[in-house]
């Protein structure tokens, strides 16, 4: 297809138009629900995620807090509509002894975080603190159980402690520690990355371990457990096949998948700010691989579970770069730019479009770690570009996926090609149509034509996240440099939408009847 190149200066960014993206939506054929848990988050005891990030201590008079958790963080997470929050890890989960994090805080034993920086933690943020936080922000807790270094009894006791209504030793212990009613935690990870930091197990061995631990994780009257097996990394298809073959399906509700958009695990991951287009293209290539991996693992799961009763849970994903200069390498603190916004938009579109099998996911991580939605520095707090994309996209939570046909030109660099524009669409309970669009192209804007079939809509509005440079970001000096803005550049006539999406930007359109 011959490309038409045209540069138009539009204030804060330059549009360079290329070949047209064509989308057809069948709005009356929506049958699959986009599970809200796709929009989950992840809080590990890693760097300044918990201590100094979310949790500043109950005696802190400098930073407004509720039971030690920052009020500004609580409010931001409420507005984000976080459906679930995974804790305490990550690798940390398989070293964590939950009983050390309950009872009087001044009597809790300390521990060394062997995975992340070797720092000593005082266990002042524990089970009660986390589960109470989830209640405050309206999120379901997702507890990752210790299978790597903990015993079957440890995990069984934890389930009883948080879920048993009364009469069991653990329920009575919970009441002694100030919580009368159970939290009724449903989401449970049975270990984490068992192939690596969770024990360096083989898939066959872990399958047996899973069966053993899951057997002693009991449902309670108001909490039927949703058990998630420690799944593969990237394209470890043999791992998924072994789990699906060896674990009885009535014992398993989900299989995890981890994939990060990282340049290299062995060499430099590249900077979070000041990266080259070569580094950017590679990051986008890794982000697009999420689609490939989901398809690959889903094909294996379909072989053993054609009715799709078992979910694929992508409970770790996001961009991973070198830490910011001068920070602890074990704290994984990185800045968050428009590149991260594009990763988020692209990845969420992929999840939405695989909603039949993908029914949960967790962005890594929520505060001050990796692709965080919030950054803090003492009293200061800011929302990152990723936060804004997650907020724009929350219209898809529990909405019905609208089937689409999309033809997009490529983003080309050094002889390689990636699909430039991704999209997903849904209908909410009120019948409104939501269309999300992400353009990963480094330099070119793209004209988009959307044909609506099946239903008529009369009104359209939109939001956009865009900036003049790909590594633009919010800082504590300029916390609102990148923010969601109204988007009015869409023409709507006779069931056809026409718009131009700028380079490295994200748009969400909302249509009503």
- Respond yes or no: is residue 447 known to be catalytic: no
Relative orientation angle of helices 338-353 and 277-304, to the nearest 10 degrees? 20
Relative orientation angle of helices 385-393 and 71-80, to the nearest 10 degrees? 40
What φ, ψ does residue 333 adopt, rounded to 5°?
-90, 125
Of 316, 324, 356, 407, the catalytic one is: 316
Q: Which of 98, 83, 234 is nearest to 170 (CA)?
A: 98
Question: What strand order describes the sheet that includes 433-439?
Answer: 32-33, 400-401, 421-427, 433-439, 505-512, 459-465, 485-486
- Respond yes or no: is residue 193 known to be catalytic: yes
Of 121, 140, 193, 447, the catalytic one is: 193
251 HSE (CA, 13 A, CB side): 19
Q: Three-state secondary structure along 332-388?
A: CCCCCEHHHHHHHHHHHHHHHHCCCCEEEEEEECCECCCCCCEEEECCEEEECHHHH
Which helix H or strand E contains 111, and what residues bound it?
Answer: strand 111-112
CA distance 500 to 408: 13
| Ranges assigned E (strand) in 126-183 | 140-145
Cis before 365 (ω within 30)? yes
- Residue environment code for 103-129, b if the CB has 16+ CB neighbours within 10 A, otherwise e: bebeebeebebebbeebebebbbbbbb
Query: What are the tokens at 459?
Result: 């009104």
Query: What are the tokens at 503?
Result: 């380079």
DSSP 98: G
- Residue environment code for 61-71, b if the CB has 16+ CB neighbours within 10 A, otherwise e: eebebeebbbe
CA distance 55 to 71: 10
Please count the other Cβ atoms lying within 10 Å of the Cβ belonging to residue 211. 16
Pairing outcome for strands 140-145 and 84-87: parallel
How far is CA 448 from its chain centroid?
A: 27
Q: Are 229 and 243 in contact (CB under 8 A)?
A: yes
| Active-site residue list | 193, 316
């Amino acid at each position: 297809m011959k490309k038409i190149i045209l540069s138009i200066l539009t204030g804060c960014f330059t549009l360079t138009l290329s070949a047209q993206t064509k989308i057809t939506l069948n709005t009356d054929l929506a049958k699959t629900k986009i599970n809200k848990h796709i929009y989950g988050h992840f809080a590990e005891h890693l760097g300044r995620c918990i201590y100094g990030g979310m949790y500043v201590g109950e005696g802190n008079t400098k930073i407004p807090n509720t039971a030690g958790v920052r009020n500004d963080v609580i409010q931001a997470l409420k507005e984000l509509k976080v459906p679930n929050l995974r804790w305490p890890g990550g690798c940390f989960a398989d070293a964590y002894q939950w009983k050390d994090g309950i009872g009087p805080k001044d009597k809790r034993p300390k521990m060394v975080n062997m995975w992340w920086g070797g720092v000593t933690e005082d266990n002042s943020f524990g089970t009660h603190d986390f589960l109470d936080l989830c209640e405050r922000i309206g999120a379901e807790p997702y507890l990752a159980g210790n299978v790597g270094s903990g015993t079957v009894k440890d995990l069984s006791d934890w389930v009883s402690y948080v879920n048993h209504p009364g009469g069991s030793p653990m329920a009575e212990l919970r009441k002694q520690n100030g919580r009368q009613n159970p939290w009724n935690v449903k989401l449970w990870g049975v270990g984490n990355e068992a192939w690596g930091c969770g024990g360096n197990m083989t898939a066959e061995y872990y399958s047996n371990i899973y069966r053993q631990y899951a057997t002693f994780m009991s449902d309670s009257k108001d909490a039927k457990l949703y058990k998630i097996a420690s799944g593969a990394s990237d394209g470890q298809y043999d791992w998924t096949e072994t789990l699906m073959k060896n674990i009885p399906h009535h014992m398993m509700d989900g299989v995890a998948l981890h994939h990060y958009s990282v340049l290299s695990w062995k060499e430099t991951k590249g900077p979070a700010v000041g990266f080259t287009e070569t580094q950017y293209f590679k990051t986008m290539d890794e982000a697009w691989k999420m689609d490939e991996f989901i398809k690959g693992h889903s094909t294996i799961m379909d072989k053993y579970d054609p009715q799709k009763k078992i979910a694929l849970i992508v409970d770790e994903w996001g961009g991973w770069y070198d830490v910011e200069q001068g920070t602890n390498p074990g704290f994984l603190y990185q800045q968050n730019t428009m590149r991260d916004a594009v990763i988020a938009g692209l990845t969420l579109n992929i999840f939405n479009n695989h909603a039949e099998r993908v029914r949960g996911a967790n962005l890594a991580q929520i505060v001050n770690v990796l692709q965080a939605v919030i950054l803090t520095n003492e009293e200061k707090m800011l929302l990152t570009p990723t936060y804004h994309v997650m907020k724009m996209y929350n219209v898809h939570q529990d909405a019905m996926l609208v089937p689409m046909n999309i033809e997009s030109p490529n983003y080309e660099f050094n002889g390689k090609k990636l699909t430039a524009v991704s999209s997903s669409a849904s209908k909410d309970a009120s019948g409104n149509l939501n269309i999300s669009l992400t353009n990963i192209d480094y330099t070119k804007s793209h004209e988009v034509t959307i044909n609506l079939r099946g239903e008529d809509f009369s009104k359209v509005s939109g939001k956009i996240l865009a900036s003049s440079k790909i590594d633009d970001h919010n800082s504590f000096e300029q916390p609102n440099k990148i923010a969601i803005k109204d988007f009015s550049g869409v023409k709507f006539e006779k069931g056809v939408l026409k718009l131009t999406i700028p380079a490295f930007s994200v748009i969400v359109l909302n249509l009503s009847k």
